[in-house]
Structures are given as structure tokens and as C-alpha cells.
Amino acid sequence: MQNSNVVKDIVLEKAQATFSGIEIDEKTDFFSVGISSLAVVNFQMEVEQALNCTVETSELMANSTLGDWVNLYQSAAQTN
């Protein structure tokens, strides 16, 4: 089980690395700033490898802000 602050830090760190050059915060919708679904799935794989937990891709796509992802991965990390 991961601490929720650690999960948030990892997701934010991976976002900065994956989407460098794009200004994104927890309220930004990935698709509204031109990030492709392929880039989002690559980001998902990076996060899941770092956290050693998974969230369904369809759930992530339906919740497409960085803040949503932090919440989903915090929940997933608590159940692992």
C-alpha cells in the first residue's frame, strides 16, 4: 500500500516527464490541451509501472484530468 502523497507525487512527476512542454495542472483535461489518447496510454503505463498497481484504461479515459488520475491511483494503491 502506497501513501497517498507518494502516489500524488509519482503521478505528477510522471506527467511532467511525459508531457514536457505542455502546461498541465491537476484541473487540466488531457484532451483539451491536445494530448493524444496514445500519449495518455503511454503515461498510464509509466504510472502503473512506478506504482505497481493498475486502473482500467476506460476509467482513466472517462476521468481525464490529472487530479482525477491522482484520485483513481490513490484508491487503487490502497487496495493493493
- pLDDT tens-digit series, residues 10-46: 999 999 999 988 988 899 999 999 999 999 999 999 9
- Cα dist from 22 to 7, 19, 48, whole Å: 21, 6, 21
Read off the amino acid at residue 10: I
Class of domain 4-79: mainly alpha
Contacts of 16 (CB under 8 A, 6+ apart): none
- If pLDDT is split at 50, 70 and 90, which confidence band does 2 have? low
